[in-house]
Chains A and B, each alone.
Chain A
Amino acid sequence: MSERKDITRRRVIKSGAAAAAAAGATPYFFTRAFADGHGYMNAPKGDTVTFGFNVPQTGAYADEGADELRAYEMAVEHINAGGGGMLDTFSSKALKGGVNGKTVKFVTGDTQTKSDAARASAKRMIENDGAIMITGGSSSGVAIAVQGLCQEAGVIFMSGLTHSNDTTGKDKRANGFRHFFNTEMTGAALGPVLNNNYGKDRKVYHLTADYTWGYSQEGSMIKYTQPYGWETVAAVKTPVGAGDFSQFITPVLSSGADTLVLNHYGKDMVNSLTQAVQFGLRDKQVNGKDFTIVVPLYSRLMAQGAGANVKGIFGSTNWHWSLQDEGSKAFVKAFGTKYGFPPSQAAHTTYCQALLYADACQRAGTFKPSEVGAALEGFKFDGLGNGPTEYRAEDHQCFKDVLVVKGKENPTSKFDVLEVVEVTPRAKVEYAPSLLGGELGPYNNG
């Protein structure tokens, strides 16, 4: 009786509040990392090590995610075999079959291109499947969310397709590494090409996806076109997945702008570009100039979706299957023979990330995040399709040449939609590590 009296409503509320506070204060992961004495999270036991491939398997980027997964599967085959594809052209020859004497196996998660779903699947792979490293993704929002989680958990995150400056800028983390380029590099590469092709003093209308990548891309385009007298008439944010962009495109007609920059990616890019062409923008003359459209970030998979509308439109890309260096040729041959079509830039960057991680572990002689990270920091390599590349130590961003591409006028196949018009050298797109802000902080080994 007396025991029951102790359980008052006030006490239950107090206990509940304390429990909730404790739960909130407890790190995302309970530390079971040191149980085996290796001193880091998910240290592999036995003769296998598990990679976690976190890609969009459903949702708007599912096709891109499927291509990433194909590339990862092929990367694992090549790592375990000690050769094949770009592993044969990779400048580092550390990998001889497996990693640190262990066979690589993998588990997969579905990001659904949603931050919460991506974090949940990464968490599941780390906690339940013992993934030593998480990699993948097709969105900057997702990449930043998963990168934060991997930092908390104490595993390395090798991001997939993420283009926002923030991933290796204000939101960078010590455990996170990006091979893909960013909007700062896109702007630096595209600005001069646009000026050469369209001339100075243009009036620009920006339609921008309303999330981190969109803001980053818009800012970079304005920054790198302003020196040529390109004036921003308006910069309008559009909801992600708007579908019909007509209400955003019609104001362009009477705005006095002679250039439309579509800071959109994926489905939004396909829709907004298709509709802009339908509204006759490409046939217009404004301020005595031909109206022009720019799509700063291209994806070949998405460009296929936009069909003939991409013809003659400039943009940038991280890699393209038509490149003729030995690495690209080896990758296209291996991928094309296995799957019957050329790989996308998403497939390329994820394949590279898997190889780079495995190679770093092999060179470090361990899977411990801080030591693997140290092996990646400042690592200079070649033979992976982008020419000489460096993983900069200060922000964990890869620096390499940037491709400026244009929608091809006379495609010879459905894959042949983009042509590389300029390879902008690394020196022209490089920036000071402090430019994009943020702090790496210390490594977390779990």
Chain B
Amino acid sequence: MDAIFLQVLNGLDKGGAYALIALGLTLVFGTLGVVNFAHGALFMLGAFCAVALQRMFSVSYERINEDKQDFLGNPLKEQISYMVDWVGEDAAAFLQDYSVPLSIILAALFMAIVGIVMERGLIKHFYKRPHADQILVTFGLAIVIQELVRHYFGANPIPQAAPQVVSGAANVGSWVGLGENVIYPWWRLVYFVFSAIIIFGVFAFLQFTTFGMVVRAGMQDRETVGLLGINIEQRFTVVFGLAAVVAGVAGAMYTPVLPPDYHMGMDFLVLSFVVVVVGGMGSLGGAVLAGFLLGILQSFASMQAVQELLPGISQIIIYLVAVIVLLTLPRGLMGRKGVMED
């Protein structure tokens, strides 16, 4: 029972990341009709916003310390943080400690700009082109982004620490009446709550605002909305920016779970596309549902008992489920008629 409960938690936490990426992918596909293979790279860029902020807080100058030596035996060049000089030691330590949650602000601003520039500068020229062209150009863009990140940040993962207050593990077992072995990292619980809030926020934005109503109308019938005199293109640009922001903040908050490296976007992209297809192309609810469902299934498939019964199943479970779902429900779990069926 303990093991099953822990795997459900694992699945929810992993599913949260899948759902957030798939949500952005679906938003872009549903509104702009663009299959964006660079979406994983946006998740990775968001993660590196956390790294960048952490480095900004650590910008330092050198001071020669004659009493200590470096690895070559020369006087040690000590790194002194500007932040300590500017705001004092306590405030600098606080900023360092909370750099990951604070990076959400940087990620949101930066990714909104990246999203809008990407849409206006490149994606809009491919609206009327076949999906194959869109995939090629966005995949190429993803490779360019990841190689740029590798050039500036290197190929090794760069760990980011969660704030001290949530750095340990919570005794979840005692909350639900299970054994003392049921412990779970606090930050992963925070991430699950965070992803739920973002998902709810996006749905509320689309459901309860006039802007959202127009976007939803545009998703249903772009031409008619245009005929009503509404500049739907402009709205869609904002939607692309919103999708980039969702991917970016999801990436930034994920850094204490998975130390970011330049390739993490590609790792998530393939899975997220499966999530979108299983959920149903163009269905926001389907993307979220499939994200959590596949996250949980993947966790269960990794259990020792399951592995002994079906060796290697953890690596194929998501694709196996995708095949079964598409054979029985060709439009996915919540797919709408007419989407990508032309």
Contacts and interface: CB of A to CB of B under 8 A. Distances in A.
Contacts of A434: none
B150 A62 contact: yes
Interface in B248-288: 256-259, 261, 263-264, 267
B304 A246 contact: no
B71 A236 contact: no
A60 B158 contact: no
A271 interface: yes
A306 interface: yes
Contacts of B261: 60, 267
Interface string A304-343: 1111010000000000011000000000110011000110
Interface stretch (A189-197, A273-281, A424-432): A273-281
Interface stretch (A22-30, A74-82, A249-257): A249-257
Given A250-B6, A251-B304, A270 B187 contact: no
Given A62-B150, A280-B169, A243 B158 contact: no
A310 to B, nearest CB: 11
B183 A279 contact: yes
A47 interface: no
A250 B258 contact: no
A251 B156 contact: no
B2 A302 contact: no
B71 A321 contact: yes
Contacts of B304: 234, 236, 251
Contacts of A332: 71-72
Nearest to A342: B71
Given A247-B299, A270-B157, A278 B179 contact: no
B331 interface: no
Interface in A258-285: 267, 270-271, 274-275, 278-280, 283
A8 B7 CA distance: 61
A342 B154 CA distance: 17
A241 interface: yes
A342 B74 CA distance: 13
B169 to A, nearest CB: 3
Nearest to A233: B304
Contact of A241 (B147, B155, B169, B267): B267
Given A278-B187, A333-B72, A342-B71, A253 B159 contact: no
Contact of A280 (B185, B267, B299, B307): B185
Contact of B154 (A63, A307, A337, A415): A63
Contacts of B307: 236-237
Interface string B126-160: 00000000000000000000010010001111110
Given A267-B157, A307-B159, A244 B258 contact: yes
Interface of A: 58-63, 234, 236-237, 239, 241, 243-244, 246-248, 250-251, 253-254, 267, 270-271, 274-275, 278-280, 283, 301-302, 304-307, 309, 321-322, 332-333, 336-337, 341-342, 412-413, 415-416
A305 B13 contact: no
B302 to A, nearest CB: 4
Contacts of A415: 71
Interface in B150-186: 150, 154-159, 161, 167-169, 179, 181-185
Contacts of A254: 2-3, 6, 179, 181
Contacts of A271: 157, 258-259
A436 B144 CA distance: 44
Interface of B: 2-3, 6-7, 9-11, 13-14, 68, 70-72, 147, 150, 154-159, 161, 167-169, 179, 181-185, 187-188, 256-259, 261, 263-264, 267, 298-299, 302-304, 307, 314-315
Contact of B185 (A239, A279, A307): A279
Given A239-B315, A243-B258, A279-B183, A270 B10 contact: no
Given A239-B314, A278-B185, A248 B302 contact: yes
The winner among B3, B6, B147, B307 for most chain A CB atoms within 10 A is: B6
A237 B312 CA distance: 9
Contact of B156 (A241, A270, A333): A270
Contacts, number: 120
B71 A62 contact: no
Contact of B155 (A59, A237, A278): A59
Contacts of A305: 156-159, 259
Contact of B3 (A246, A251, A309, A336): A251
Contacts of A283: 168-169
B256 to A, nearest CB: 8
B13 A267 contact: no
B72 A337 contact: yes
B47 to A, nearest CB: 12
**Which of B155, B183, B261, B299 has the most chain A CB within a 10 Å cutoff?**
B155
A246 B314 CA distance: 13
Between B68, B182, B184, the greatest number of chain A beta carbons within 10 A of the residue's beta carbon is seen for B184
Given A246-B14, A280-B168, A267 B303 contact: no
A337 B185 CA distance: 43
Closest 7 CB pairs of A and B: A280-B169, A62-B155, A247-B302, A250-B6, A278-B185, A247-B299, A254-B181
A245 B258 CA distance: 9
Contact of B159 (A239, A279, A306, A337): A306
A267 B299 CA distance: 20
B201 to A, nearest CB: 24
26 contacts: A59-B155, A60-B261, A60-B263, A61-B155, A62-B154, A63-B156, A244-B258, A246-B10, A246-B188, A247-B14, A251-B3, A254-B6, A267-B156, A267-B261, A270-B156, A271-B157, A271-B258, A271-B259, A275-B257, A283-B168, A305-B156, A305-B157, A322-B71, A332-B71, A337-B72, A415-B71
B340 to A, nearest CB: 29
A58 B150 CA distance: 9
B3 A250 contact: yes
B303 to A, nearest CB: 6
B220 to A, nearest CB: 37
A248 to B, nearest CB: 6
